[in-house]
Amino acid sequence: MIMTNQPPALSIVIPAYNEEAHIGATLETLFQSLEQSEIPTWEVIVSNDASDDRTVEIAETFPVRIVESGKRNIGGTRNVGAKHATGDYVLFVDADTLVPVETLNSLWKEMEKETVGGGARIEWSEPVSWKGKAPLMFWNTISPLFRAPAGSFLFARREIFEAIGGFNESLFAGEELDLAYRLKKHGPLRILKDPIKTSPRKLQQFSKREILSLYRRVLFSPRKMLGDRDQLD
């Protein structure tokens, strides 16, 4: 990274709640990719959402700024991190997500074009069965068509992100799609062809029946479900 007195080109915000199992690999991969990328300057902010494990201890071994959220809401925790961001763009990366250098270089090209925002294609970071591959294939098909970024990797011009009020903190899921809808009013969003790798832990944690039940409840009662953390298991 080239050190200057100017604000960084990119601020990376990582929301984290009890992520001791993943955040070390996420940060190690991220810094390796940043050092090899074309992005000239950056800052990394970990927004800690009241973790009671070793998340902060592990994060402190990397050159990051740690800010405290405690909102128990991922949109709110991202917003807390973004308030400390000073870059022209802000990139939100989940604490269980690995970002390759190729993806960062693709992001830099969009930043040079002053693209409003966007996301990236997704791959699983661990082997999964065909049942786990199918929904990801579906998402990677519709995401570019509808310019719908996933929350695991979402970027936006900071001035526009701030102008539209950031993430909607009344939502406990789907907040990234709500943000994308509002960003689109200010210009096109891009879904990068180069992918990121994210953990399939939710597929591993819950059964197929539980996941389908959740989707069904969200489909028939979206406002009630997405606005109530207790409904989202």
Choice among 92-101, 170-179, 219-228 with the minimum mean pLDDT: 219-228
- Provide the pLDDT confidence category of residue 207 given band limits of 50, 70 and 90: low
The secondary structure of 148-200 as a DSSP string is: ---TTEEEEEHHHHHHTTSS-TT-SSSHHHHHHHHHGGGS-EEEEEEEEEE--
Average pLDDT, the chain: 88
Q: How far is residue 149's CA from residue 140's CA, in Å, rounded to a whole number?
A: 10
- Provide the pLDDT confidence category of residue 52 given band limits of 50, 70 and 90: very high
Contact between 50 and 56 (Cβ < 8 Å): no
Q: Give the pLDDT of residue 213.
A: 53
Q: Give the pLDDT of residue 226.
A: 46
Say yes or no to pLDDT of 233 above 80. no
Say yes or no to pLDDT of 119 above 70. yes
Q: Dig out the tokens for 82 from the structure.
A: 């973004």
Which of the pair, 139 or 39, is modelled with greater confidence? 39
Which of the pair, 205 or 94, is modelled with greater confidence? 94
- Provide the pLDDT confidence category of residue 43 given band limits of 50, 70 and 90: very high
Say yes or no to pLDDT of 46 above 70. yes
Read off the pLDDT of residues 57-87 as tens digits, 9 standing for 90 and up. 999 999 999 999 989 899 999 999 999 999 9
- Provide the pLDDT confidence category of residue 125 given band limits of 50, 70 and 90: confident
Contact between 191 and 121 (Cβ < 8 Å): yes
